[in-house]
A and B are shown apart, each in its own frame.
Chain A
Amino acid sequence: MTSLTKSILILLFMSTTLFAESDSGITIPYVDFPMKEGKGMYSTKGKCNMCHSFGYVINQGLQSKKFWREKVIKMIVIFKAPIKSEEDIETVTNYLFEHYGNGELE
């Protein structure tokens, strides 16, 4: 094969792959990040899985009560999570600390 035909072939190959890829979209798979059963699970599920997966939450690892409380407040203040009452903040914080806590209050 001459180098010219070689490069034409390479070009052809490249342009077909380029077109083939862009004509179909993608499907993002669902990945299950199961939540531990317990008091406040449903409330937390409703509030913390609204904008992102629970994987995003538990990726932080086991944390203190203060850490979880501050995280919940960050979601409300910065990202406008619609969590209105102090009682709801308590429920979610307690659930997260109970199941994803490191035993430390602070």
Chain B
Amino acid sequence: MERRDFFKKAIAVAGSAAIGGTAAEAGETVHPVDNRKVSDIAFPQKRPLITYSDRPPLLETPREVFTSALTPNDLFFVRWHMPMIPTYINPRTFFININGLVENEIKISLEELKTAFEQVELTAVLQCGGNSRTAFKPTASGIQWGVGAMGCARWKGVRLKDVLKKAGLKNEAAWISFNGEDKAVYNETANFVRELKLEDLNDDIILAYEMNGEELPYLNGYPLRLIIPGLYSDSWIKMISNITVTKEKQKLHFMDHAYRVPDNECECETPENLVQKTKPIEEMNVNSIIGYPSTGSKVRNASDLIVRGVAFDGGHGIKKVQISIDGGKIWEDARLDDGTQGRYAYRSFTYTFKPKKSGKLTIMCKATNEKGEEQPFAKDIKWNHGGYKYNGIDEVTIEVV
């Protein structure tokens, strides 16, 4: 059996020399896996979601949820790195520690956060850098997400800047590292620690204790998590309990190896020629998803169909969302919501039309941001080994009856 496969492989390689690389050899992208079913087991404070693991919990939001501008807490996706997560936190004894290069090492209670600092609220999209990773062929390392490793919520908390000011930063301070209460099972495994350059600190980065007007669900980081609007969520530490200020960047697996893309113009590479120089994934690409209908939906011929979805980017703001029902040749503007939730939030959109003939029909959506960046077709996205930053034009195929 292995011999036969070896042959198949040898033929593929020989062929690629002639035609300049087979698709699989070169690395390609397709539409991410769609329509996975939710599990029949609901996790605490959640409705049933697409479930990849219980330890640590890895839960994906189904496509149907992306019809509204805010994602309900109980439908919000879940991603932990370390499997040992506290299942009870006493809000009255919880503290966040600020230490390292500060004038005063301090502990701040939840109560103090809520009363002694200016309270701020903002709406922001939380999206895993590996959302839609199933688009990448060959398989990129990491969780094999469909389109649902994202959500948008209204966050309430205090500015990170204000908390650091309270402790007083020393002159040499240059890096801030964050750690949460989740722990590795094995004591030699490094914890999930992330860092931020002090110069990247801005007023929109907050420590949030509220999500859509409620406490954070445990699985989304109760009682406190870091919110970094516009950036992928790799540093949005959950159950955050420690902040350390340092002069030098620390050596950390999750900073130095994970969540990085090739440091070149296309942020791309090929499986057999990985780029050595990498950079953090950081700002989110412009993206949009159709929430309704979904692939397989049956709709009536010649009757109004309202396509609904959401669009967002890294904070420049969405300029337009367009819909195509002819495979991407003609694009028509969808109607955007009023945008009052701000530049880091989802813009929900609708597009109404009457299907004109029965049979299969593919609906595509494409967003363009204020910078003029627009989503590429799925096949035009370039491969990277971590499967990060996918933002191909979304599509669903329905049946008109």
CA distance A18 to B111 in the complex (A): 13
Q: Across the interface, do B189 and A52 meet the contact criterion of CB distance under 8 Å?
A: no
Q: Could you tell me if A28 and B215 are in contact, using CB atoms closer than 8 angstroms? A: no
Check A53 for interface membership: any CB of B closer than 8 A.
Answer: yes
**Cβ-based interface call for B356 (8 A):** no
Shortest Cβ gap from B106 to chain A (Å): 23
A55 and B53 CA atoms in complex are apart in Å by 5
**Given A79-B189, A105-B6, A53 contacting B54 (CB threshold 8 A):** yes
State which residues 302-338 of B face A: CB under 8 Å: none
Picked from A30, A59, A67, the residue with its CB within 8 Å of the CB of B144 is A59
Q: Are A50 and B185 in contact (CB under 8 A)?
A: yes
List chain A residues, Cβ under 8 A from B218.
Answer: 25-26
Contact bitstring A13-55, B, C-beta under 8 A = 1, else 0: 0100110011011111111010000000000000000111101
In the complex, the answer to whether A29 meets B41 with C-beta atoms within 8 Å is yes
In the docked arrangement, what's the CA distance between A47 and B194, Å?
27
Q: Scoring B residues 194 to 233 as 1 if CB is less than 8 Å from chain A, else 0, what string do you get?
A: 0000000000000000000111001100110000000000
Contact A26 B185 (CB under 8 A): no
Q: What DSSP secondary structure best describes chain A's contact surface?
A: loop
Give the distance to chain B from A75, nearest Cβ to Cβ, in Å: 9
CA distance A24 to B44 in the complex (A): 11
Interface flags for B49-89 (1: CB within 8 Å of A; 0: not) read 00111111110000000000000000000000001011111
Once bound together, how far apart are the Cα atoms of A104 and B85, in whole Å? 37
Tell me how far the C-beta of B83 lies from the nearest C-beta in chain A, rounded to whole angstroms.
Answer: 5
Assuming the A-B contacts A60-B144, A105-B2, are A17 and B214 also in contact, with contact meaning beta carbons closer than 8 angstroms in the complex? yes
B257–A78 contact, CB under 8 A?
yes
Give 25 A-B contacts (CB < 8 Å), ordered by A residue.
A14-B213, A17-B214, A18-B215, A21-B45, A21-B214, A28-B54, A31-B39, A51-B185, A52-B56, A55-B54, A56-B53, A56-B55, A56-B58, A59-B144, A60-B139, A60-B144, A61-B139, A71-B141, A78-B257, A79-B186, A82-B186, A103-B1, A103-B8, A105-B5, A105-B6
Apart from A63-B139, A104-B9, what are 12 other A-B pairs with CB-CB below 8 Å? A21-B45, A22-B91, A22-B223, A26-B87, A29-B42, A30-B54, A51-B189, A52-B83, A53-B83, A56-B55, A79-B189, A103-B8
